[in-house]
Amino acid sequence: MTAPRTVAVIVGSLRKGSFSRITAKALESLAPAHLKLEIVEIGDLALYNEDVEKEGAPVAWTTFREQVRAADAVLFVTPEYNRSVPGALKNAIDVGSRPYGKSAWAGKPGAVVSVSPGAMGAFGANHHLRQSLVFLDVAAMQQPEAYVGQIATLFDESGQITNEGTKGFLTGFMASFATWIEAVIGR
Amino acid sequence: MTAPRTVAVIVGSLRKGSFSRITAKALESLAPAHLKLEIVEIGDLALYNEDVEKEGAPVAWTTFREQVRAADAVLFVTPEYNRSVPGALKNAIDVGSRPYGKSAWAGKPGAVVSVSPGAMGAFGANHHLRQSLVFLDVAAMQQPEAYVGQIATLFDESGQITNEGTKGFLTGFMASFATWIEAVIGR
Amino acid sequence: MTAPRTVAVIVGSLRKGSFSRITAKALESLAPAHLKLEIVEIGDLALYNEDVEKEGAPVAWTTFREQVRAADAVLFVTPEYNRSVPGALKNAIDVGSRPYGKSAWAGKPGAVVSVSPGAMGAFGANHHLRQSLVFLDVAAMQQPEAYVGQIATLFDESGQITNEGTKGFLTGFMASFATWIEAVIGR
Amino acid sequence: MTAPRTVAVIVGSLRKGSFSRITAKALESLAPAHLKLEIVEIGDLALYNEDVEKEGAPVAWTTFREQVRAADAVLFVTPEYNRSVPGALKNAIDVGSRPYGKSAWAGKPGAVVSVSPGAMGAFGANHHLRQSLVFLDVAAMQQPEAYVGQIATLFDESGQITNEGTKGFLTGFMASFATWIEAVIGR
């Protein structure tokens, strides 16, 4: 029996009804039972500015950092904006990485799911994010990769996945992530 | 005699005394006389959210879009945050790219200067930004590339460049950019 | 009336019947009449090694360099191997870039078409290649981008494009490239 | 006491006296005693071509694949060519990844050291390689990152590291890699 693990889920789109958020919720229901996924909101984070940090970090920043730090692992679910990660997501990464020497991300196991309405599955966002994770020392799971294209066709109106192939793929993805989390935590 | 050209300068760091801003100001003084550089501020832009766009874009967004649209060219001066562009800069890119089909960036000539306190010159930020510029149809100048490392050692307290090598390099960079702007506008 | 322009076409796959090669040939037939596309072969280029250069460059290297240098523009048509450009294509780039200070690529206008049997259109190859083009001073056309997925479904057995949407897209792509070539050459 | 682990070392430059090779040998002497580093040569690998695979893979290909497969882990030491990995290194990656479904790389722990004569430490090569490692399912160590600049100044004529800071950094790098190898193998 595996000990419970908490997973901070970062959703790259701020739209209430975003496909990233719907996907994040679906992943929660498909994950092994011992993984507790919780979305950590990023929409209220002011743009990172070191001057502001020195004057006193806003409550939203410190709360976000504590939420990330408290989690055993992190899972990113994101669309692509202009061939890269959305600014809001990159800002959350920056806020969580500071102040210098006190990054909330350091050492955690991580995984990336990128989604797109078109065919390409937000490849550009997926790999730009991975480049940041190297610096953040988030040990990102390599396989399976998750580039989920045609995202608008995969769910019903209640947010349930209707595509069986996608359901099976994402279930396997979360099972692999659970294994990966234990390997990284156990090192 | 070359016609005057306006260049919108986007500074990637929000710190008042940031090296990116100091560099941007130095570039203004080193540029050919017919280039008018003007910093377009990005610190007041709310995080992009399509829901907000539908409810009515904030004034800061529409002002920013108009400022970018009015310029003949764009110049990015940026540090690297976590091996990529700062969230604030990526957010400005996203805001300027919307609403769909009305991107303020489209078709403009552009150039990238990345700066770092360390040796590597913010290479990661430079190229992640360039990947976005492909999608935005900003025709980015390829050569010379500008990765300005050891940035803290290059200026005096008044913001004047004291390193002659850097001064010569950046003067050449702006001259090349001026030529590039005419090529792209003339197509 | 536009002056004739020669375009060196670099095909990223060495397979005789590769989809990249079929696509390259299709592009030739869809291009404006004043563009003369010619495939420059890369399969006989020995792996780049500076020791070999010093002993005397192989004929295949010098021939390749001359062919690239003689062209007005370069067009890359490539699949993705392991989320990047094929080694054979990267080797051709390296061979063409040397000896130091005598790159065959410098200053030419360029364009990238990436193709894949799957959905994602070889995005990873496309953008890794573009990063090299920055250094090579090949002015790469930004828009339209060409990520051609499902490549195995687009042609008949004789290599003719059967998909009308693809045909129209690639025709427009080559028309844009023709315009881009003139802008870059005229600078 | 830790069980012995074999590490296949892939050197990105084919030059006999390359700094990558000198660095690789230095890493061997700095590594924990239970790690056995062995350079796997890539200079005799013909350019990957699926047609050739079908006719019968060259001995150099099958030998290389067996050498990689036999190792417990892989370590890449590479320069940057044209802002990406050298063609020879990318070709070795491609050869090792085939035939389809029989990749020699799959599941191994890995690490990347990039070196450059200039300041930037071959950042572009380092991260392009990492993007391939995601697909190859090589679990790449995130921290410490190793971008070794000014490489020509760090060794004496016998190939010994003379810079104490570099020596300490690379010793720590190999110690971290040893720990990482056990975590990945033990999953």
Per-chain mean pLDDT for chain D = 97
Chain B residue closest in CA terms to C123: B131
pLDDT tier at B187 (50, 70, 90 boundaries)?
confident
Which residue's structure tokens are 């599955």? A121
Report, in this order, helix, strand and coil percent for chain A, each rounded to 5: 40, 20, 40
ipTM of the prediction: 0.97
B143 touches chain C (CB under 8 A): yes
Task: Tell me the per-residue pLDDT of D49-69, one tens digit each, with 9 for 90 and over.
Answer: 999 999 999 999 999 999 999
- Is the confidence at residue D121, as pLDDT, over 70? yes
pLDDT over 90 (residue D2): no
| Binary contact (C119, A123; C-beta < 8 A) | no
Q: Amino acid letter at A2?
A: T
The DSSP string of C39-95 is EPP-TTPPPP-HHHHHH---HHHHHHHHHHHH-SEEEEEE--BTTB--HHHHHHHHH
Strand extents, DSSP E, chain B: 5-11, 35-39, 73-78, 109-115, 139-140, 146-148
pLDDT at C1: 62
CA–CA min distance C45, chain A (Å): 31
User: Hey, which chains touch A, using 3+ CB pairs under 8 Å?
Assistant: B, C, D
User: Which residue from C51, C91, C97 is facing D91, i.e. has the nearest CB?
Assistant: C91
Interface check for A98 against chain C (CB to CB < 8 A): the answer is no
What pTM value is reported for the model?
A: 0.98
pLDDT of residue A1: 62
A133·D142 Cβ contact <8 A? yes
Q: What is the mean pLDDT of residues B1-18?
A: 94
Q: State how far the Cα of C47 lies from the Cα of D102, in Å rounded to an integer.
A: 24
CB C8 within 8 A of CB C18: no
Distance of CA A167 to the CA centre of its chain: 18
**Interface contact A121-C124, CB threshold 8 A:** no
pLDDT, one tens digit per residue, over C169-186 is 999 999 999 999 999 998
Identify from A54, A78, A84 which residue to disrupt to test chain B contact, counting B C-beta atoms within 10 A and taking the largest count. A84
> Which whole number is the average pLDDT over B64-89?
98
Letter string b/e over residues B29-46, b meaning 16 or more CB atoms within 10 A of that residue's CB? ebbeeebebebbebbebb
CB contact under 8 A, C127 and B137: no
Given pLDDT bands bounded at 50, 70 and 90, which one contains residue B101?
very high
Give yes or no for B149 touching D (CB within 8 A).
Answer: yes
Size of interface B-C (CB pairs under 8 A): 52
D47 and chain C in contact, CB less than 8 A: yes
| Residues of C with Cβ-Cβ distance to B130 under 8 angstroms | 130-131, 134
Walking along chain A (187 residues) 10 residues at a time, the average pLDDT comes out as 92 97 97 98 98 98 98 98 98 97 97 97 98 98 98 94 96 98 91
A44 vs chain B: nearest CA distance in angstroms? 9
- CB distance from A159 to chain C under 8 Å? no
Mean pLDDT computed over B128-142: 98
Instruction: Identify all chain A residues contacting D142, using CB atoms and an 8 Å cutoff.
Output: 133-140
Question: How many Cα neighbours within 13 Å face the side chain of C141?
Answer: 27
- What proportion of chain D, given as a percentage, has pLDDT over 90? 97
Interface residue of D97, D143, D147 to substitute, partner A, most A CBs within 10 Å: D143
Our CA-based measurement puts residue B25 at a distance from the nearest CA of chain C, in whole angstroms, of 25
Least Cα separation, residue B136 to chain D (angstroms):
22
- Quick one: average pLDDT of D42-52? 98
Q: Confirm or reject contact between A123 and chain C (CB < 8 A).
A: yes
CB atoms D88 and C47 under 8 Å? yes
B114 lies within 8 A of chain D by CB: no
pLDDT band at B1 (very low <50, low <70, confident <90, very high): low
Are the beta carbons of A170 and A24 closer than 8 angstroms?
no
User: Is C176 at the interface with chain B, CB within 8 A?
Assistant: no
Instruction: Give the pLDDT mean for B161-179.
Output: 97
What was the pLDDT predicted at D186? 85
Is a pLDDT exceeding 80 seen at residue D20? yes
Q: How many Cβ pairs within 8 Å bridge chains C and D? A: 119
Written in H, E and C, the secondary structure of chain D is CCCCEEEEEEECCCCCCCHHHHHHHHHHHHCCCCEEEEECCCCCCCCCCHHHHHHCCCHHHHHHHHHHHHCCEEEEEECCECCECCHHHHHHHHHHCCCCCCCCCCCCEEEEEEECCCCCCCHHHHHHHHHHHHHHCCEECCCCCEEECCHHHCECCCCCECCHHHHHHHHHHHHHHHHHHHHHHCC
Write the pLDDT tens digit of every residue in D167-176: 999 999 999 9
Average pLDDT score over residue span B77-101:
98
Find, in chain B, the residue whose alpha carbon is nearest to that of A42. Answer: B47
Contacts of C179 in chain B (CB under 8 A): 187
Answer whether D145 sits within 8 Å of A133, measured CB to CB. no
Start-to-end CA distance of chain A, whole Å, equals: 19
> Residues with Cβ < 8 Å from B35, sequence gap 6 or more?
B4, B5, B7, B174, B177, B178, B181
Q: pLDDT per position in chain C (187 positions), as tens? A: 689 999 999 999 999 999 999 999 999 999 999 999 999 999 999 999 999 999 999 999 999 999 999 999 999 999 999 999 999 999 999 999 999 999 999 999 999 999 999 999 999 999 999 999 999 999 999 999 999 999 999 999 999 999 999 999 999 999 999 999 999 998 8
| Total Cβ atoms within 10 A of residue C62 | 13
